[in-house]
Amino acid sequence: MSTTSIEQLFVHNREWAAQVERDRPGFFTGLMAQQKPKYMWIGCSDSRVPANQISGLEPGEVFVHRNVANVVVPSDLNCLSTIQYSVDHLKVEHLMVVGHYGCGGVLAALEGLRLGLVDNWTRHVRDIRDKHIKLLDSISPQYRHDALCELNAIEQVVNVAQSTVMQDAWARGQKVTLHGWCYSLKNGLITNLEMTVPGVGGLEEVHAAAVEKVASRKRD
């Protein structure tokens, strides 16, 4: 258990900033001047899944939105506004929806656990569980959690692809590719779920192929 106090966080911050400036003089001045990331990351709020460190990207290189269980729904103006800003204004070229194995929100949805107010949010993941219940029932119980983490990321890519933001961007010829990934807490590696959507057309085929691979994927 960490014993770091709030006061120590300020100490760590000053030490980190000083070290960065020593190693890379002018880093913060350059960071202030522009923000031109090529990537947007939609991930889980889980503190063990930091986008920059996992992807090996520097501050300023990835635009990030996080929420419980990396969910994208048409009624969430927070998420959609972030997507719209990244696509329309920052001109990102790749948007990744990244789930992670061991996700507590997905587990709650899978097992119907009651956690409180967040149950209303994970209802979206329970809908995905219900949609794919036959597939999940065909998988050994010890692997169902992993499988639903993958299915959730795949379905959220569909939601992003069907959003007005992406439909408008693709209609005007903007090149933005969507990706569905899942991160492992066990080894720090990302699994490509092969849910890659480069533009309008072919979404159903890509989705069907990605879902089919969920049941056949080897699980360690």
Catalytic residue positions, numbered = 44, 46, 48, 100, 103
Q: Is 97 helix (H, G, I), strand (E, B) or coil?
A: strand
Counting every residue, how long is the chain? Answer: 220
CB 208 within 8 A of CB 195: no
Q: Is 64 exposed, middle or buried (0-12, 13-18, 19+ CB in 10 A)?
A: middle
Residues 6+ apart with CB under 8 A from 217: 150, 191
CA 137, CA 145: separation in Å to the nearest integer?
A: 11
Please report, in angstroms and rounded to a whole number, the separation of the first and last CA atoms in the chain.
28
Rounded to the nearest 5°, which phi and psi values hold at 98? -120, 105
What does DSSP say about strands 177-183 and 190-197: parallel, antiparallel, or unpaired?
antiparallel
What token pair was written down for 217?
């994927």
3-state secondary structure of 109: helix
